[in-house]
Chain A
């Protein structure tokens, strides 16, 4: 009992203010006036030099958003957001029309990404993995700063560019796919995003192509009182494959910042998308002051037969997380996967999970969710598995494990299961456990410090999911698990 008591005491005195990505970049910015109205929507559209149809699409979304209500069913509490007290667009100031290559990017921005450990030089390799190459799109507040390896990807026929560029250069693809998985009026935040989205990444993999490298987007919110509304669209055409990773950080600020993204994935016949997220937005301080409000809609559509979408997420940041990466299993024999590690510490609140919608025949899905709560945080898994009456032979396996550290945090599991065909086979397993004093003592008696011991035990708990991350990021994610729980024990 004594160690548990001590853990609790330590958690009370927790110092979350150690968030190492919390620095601010001092760079001039150009912002749209505060608030949200049709003029702001027009301002953003004009900034991006968009065609008329795109502006109309945005204005339609804005009209729909006005009629919608903020959802309140999630197990999170936060003060009402004043949507007119936010900046909806901010870009780092530059003299030219925007950088054409890395050499033209503001050195202050490059230093920002260097500090964050993001490989932006094309020859750069990630720590510990020799020869690994990752193409990166960097999004700073509302604009994409630079995208690497574009020429090499183009050789393979892969399009990887900022969303704003895709709207101008590939209108046929955007008009066909944008909003086809997450409709404009899907939910309150998706409608808001559709009206004011600023940038994000666009990926198109042509038929039969295996993308020659990992693609990655790195999101950074710098400006105060600014929302980031990025939009990502990934299309894997017949028989293609791509692995994509997104990472996110933000400075430490006393006020809350809003992040409302929409991600749409589409796989055609025999195609596969592997989408990984390492989300490390600023979580707020130990008293719950500041931090990112993360309201994100992510959905994949397995449109073709035998296609596959796999979501892997490591969620360690944000004050509030509201996020349910989902799969619509439309094609016959299609497969959806969701692997999640969600760590909450301090006063963080997470309500996250997935939806697996089985529509096609013999579709299968797998959900492995690992929730770790420490401090005074609240961690909820919310998931839906449903089978349409025509989805004969649908199969799902769900495993939700929760680990508690200390006795002031909470873990909740809210599964919804709807099977409309008698041939569906759905399995659900859930466990809740605590790190025991025995385990801690065993590790420390072998020489590990208490924090090392907790990190080791938690990494063991999450191992199944960590193994799903691209190798280049697995090491980073493992150490992030340790860092996120710093201060959770003595």
Chain B
């Protein structure tokens, strides 16, 4: 089955000459939430970097088609403008650049790429304040240098704030739950849920099922050895929670056959 939203076929991704993703297939339709679970080292984060276009994550086989375009031929900023957003597992610090400044630069860069004018500052400020409030991002945080000295929870909320402002078509969440306590997890999950829409899809990468109690997926995939070895609905996540990944770690994906 294929979709004209996101279609990944037989994807092979190499890092430093070593294949990490090995013939991965995944199809997503608009409005769907897909969760990818799997043991450490199964290639989950590599998939997220490959989708966002990180240098050094070389696609050596297969294809990724997003809204009819070959994603692999696009630079990271072109992918962003096309509607791909990656919420980082470890958001990066940029000293001296106020979070507010960064948000404005990002929004306007994407607007320009789409042939739109820059957002007037008062309008931008209103928009940020409104979205920030829902995510409990304080004015003080917006003035501080991007991610510098932010707590784990602040960093993740800031990622979701960026996603809320940039309104992507595809949100890739790379272990957004890692390092969050239950309260912070709820705030982040609510933020994501409020963005769910008929024309927006999410790929939620996580090691633990607890995130999926809050962001309820339509599909759950298990990744091992660089490919998807099993797919199911929400109940698959619960099964994994009970039984662990041992089956997939030993079989290295053989059970998919």
Binding site for B on A (CB under 8 A): 1-3, 6, 436-439, 441-450, 452, 456-457, 459-464
Contact = CB atoms under 8 A, between A and B. Distances in A.
Contacts of A461: 95-96
Interface string B69-107: 000000111011100011010011011110001100111
B46 interface: no
Interface string B169-203: 00000000000000000000000000000000000
A239 B95 CA distance: 38
A443 B105 CA distance: 9
B91 A442 contact: yes
A437 B106 CA distance: 18
List 10 A-B pairs, minimum CB-CB distance, nearest first: A460-B96, A460-B97, A447-B80, A447-B110, A2-B56, A446-B106, A444-B76, A442-B92, A463-B96, A2-B55
B218 to A, nearest CB: 25
12 contacts: A3-B55, A442-B91, A443-B102, A445-B54, A447-B77, A447-B106, A448-B106, A449-B77, A449-B109, A456-B102, A456-B105, A462-B96
A2 B53 CA distance: 12
Contact of B94 (A439, A462, A464): A439
A445 B172 CA distance: 12
Given A441-B54, A457-B97, A463-B96, A447 B91 contact: no
A6 B56 CA distance: 11
B109 A447 contact: yes
A456 B102 CA distance: 8
B52 A445 contact: yes
Nearest to A435: B94
A446 B163 CA distance: 9
Q: Main secondary structure on chain A at its contact with chain B?
A: helix
A459 B75 CA distance: 23
A464 B53 contact: no
A481 to B, nearest CB: 12
B31 interface: no
Nearest to B146: A460
Contacts of A452: 105, 109
A369 B110 CA distance: 33
A432 B132 CA distance: 34
Given A6-B55, A438-B92, A452-B105, A459 B80 contact: no
Given A447-B106, A460-B94, 20 more contacts: A1-B56, A3-B55, A441-B55, A441-B76, A442-B91, A443-B106, A444-B77, A445-B79, A446-B106, A446-B109, A446-B162, A447-B80, A448-B109, A449-B77, A450-B77, A456-B101, A456-B105, A460-B96, A460-B97, A461-B96
B205 to A, nearest CB: 15
Contacts of A444: 53, 75-77, 80
Contact of A447 (B94, B96, B101, B113): B113
A38 B92 CA distance: 62
B145 interface: yes
Contacts of A457: 94, 97
Contacts of A448: 77, 105-106, 109
Nearest to A4: B55
Contacts of B75: 444
